[in-house]
Amino acid sequence: MNALVIVLLGGAVGILSGMFGVGGGFLTTPLLIFYGVPPAVAVASSATQITGTSVSGVLAHSRRQGVDFRMGMVLVAGGGIGSFAGGFLFRLLQKTGQIDTIINLLYVALLGWIGLAMARESVRAVLAAREGRKPPPITTKRHRKWIAALPFRWRFYGAGLYISPLAPLLLGFVTGLLTVLMGVGGGFILVPAMLYLFGVSARVVVGTSLFQGLFVTATTTLVHAVTTHAVDLVLAGLLLIGSVIGAQIGSSMVQRVRPERARMMLAVIVMAVAIRMAIGLTWQPDAIYTVQAL
């Protein structure tokens, strides 16, 4: 295994992480597996790496008042519950041998949906800018009925919202579940969900997403270290060296790149991964037989 390749891989993913607030796990995990790292180790170590990447990202964003800590804490609470539930589900699927298929289907469905939503929105914004019109507002429906119907509303000042904490709690739970199942930080769910479902102010979306990822990936690291012993510190450390530097580059780039262009880029990356996954499911696999140690 070439240490430099791992560092460069971490660096490339780190740039994306800093730019978009995605942990990058949805790219790190498959790339590591292609490189020959066992899937369990790839998932666990990429979670550890995301913890480190998130620190620099959270600090960078909080310096610019880009984190809503109240919203973040609610998301973290939901994420904690979700990661334990995810651990239980993971073991159940592992026993029946369907974990790989479920992971693939989850990737296709979620990435496809999010990629399309972001692409549609960013294309509209780019076209509007070209015709000299004011870009349409990012959040089309500021008040969704089912979210507004939830009880105990709180004020989230950073996010500019007055909604029930139950909505972000549920969102945190779902991302916590996905952190364990897919080895991702959950940013690629959190960012669009906060933007399009809740209508969180775009200024705090990335920072708050990184804040949640920081704590939930730390919990996942601990869960994996204790149950699967699959956390590889050396691997995670090498990835980190690349990705913390990449994240800094990315977070300074995001101020120079026009936001609708950046979102379009992310949409293309997300859709490419989704398409690759979908094709992988229907093509006859390279290996009909797989083994699992008993």
Partner 1 sequence: MIARLIKRGRTGPYPHPAARLAYPMGSRVGVRAGAAPKQGPRRLFALIAALPILLGASEPRLVPDVSNTQVDIAYSFTGADLLLFGAILYPGGRAPSPDTDVAVVIKGPAEPLLVREKAKVAGIWINRTSERFRSVPSFYAVATSRPLDQLVSPRTAAIYEIGIGNLLLSPANGASANEQARFESGLIDLKRRNGLYAEHVGTVSVREGVLYRALVPIPARVPVGQYTAETYLIRNGHIIAVATRPIRIGKSGFERFVAQAAETYPLLYGLAAILISLLMGLAAALGFGRVRR
Q: Return all residues near 82 (Cβ < 8 A) that are at least 6 apart.
A: 172, 173, 174, 175, 176, 177, 178, 179, 180, 216
HSE-up of residue 45 (Cα within 13 Å, Cβ side): 25
Q: How far is the CB of 242 from partner 1 (least distance, A)?
A: 10
Binders of partner 1 among residues 233 to 252 (CB under 8 A) are 233-234, 236-237, 240-241, 244-245, 247-248, 252
Residue 72 CB, nearest distance to partner 1 (Å)?
A: 16
Half-sphere exposure of 164 (CA within 13 A, CB side): 13
CA 192, 198, 202, 203 dihedral sign is negative
Supply the minimum distance, in Å, between the C-beta of residue 78 and partner 1.
20
Work out the number of other CB atoms within 10 angstroms of the CB of residue 255. Answer: 9
Q: How far apart are CA 29 and CA 44, in angstroms?
A: 9
Our finding on whether 2 is near partner 1 (CB under 8 A) is yes
Q: In angstroms, how far is CA 268 from the centroid of its own chain?
A: 15
Q: CB-wise, 122 or 220, nearer to partner 1?
A: 220
DSSP string, 79-100: HHHHHHHHHHHHHHHHHHT-HH
- Stretch of residues binding partner 1 (CB under 8 A), selected from 23-31, 45-53, 81-89, 258-266: 45-53
Nearer to partner 1, 195 or 236 (CB): 236
Restricting to residues 206-235, name those near partner 1 by CB under 8 A: 218, 221-222, 224-226, 229, 231-234
Q: Is 285 in the site for partner 1 (CB under 8 A)?
A: yes
Which residue has tokens 């775009």? 202
Please tell me whether residue 293 binds partner 1 under the rule CB under 8 A: yes
Task: Name residues contacting partner 1, limited to 49-88 (CB under 8 A).
Answer: 49, 51-56, 59-60
Catalog residues that contact partner 1 under the rule CB under 8 A: 1-3, 36, 48-49, 51-56, 59-60, 97-98, 100-101, 105, 218, 221-222, 224-226, 229, 231-234, 236-237, 240-241, 244-245, 247-248, 252, 281-285, 287-294
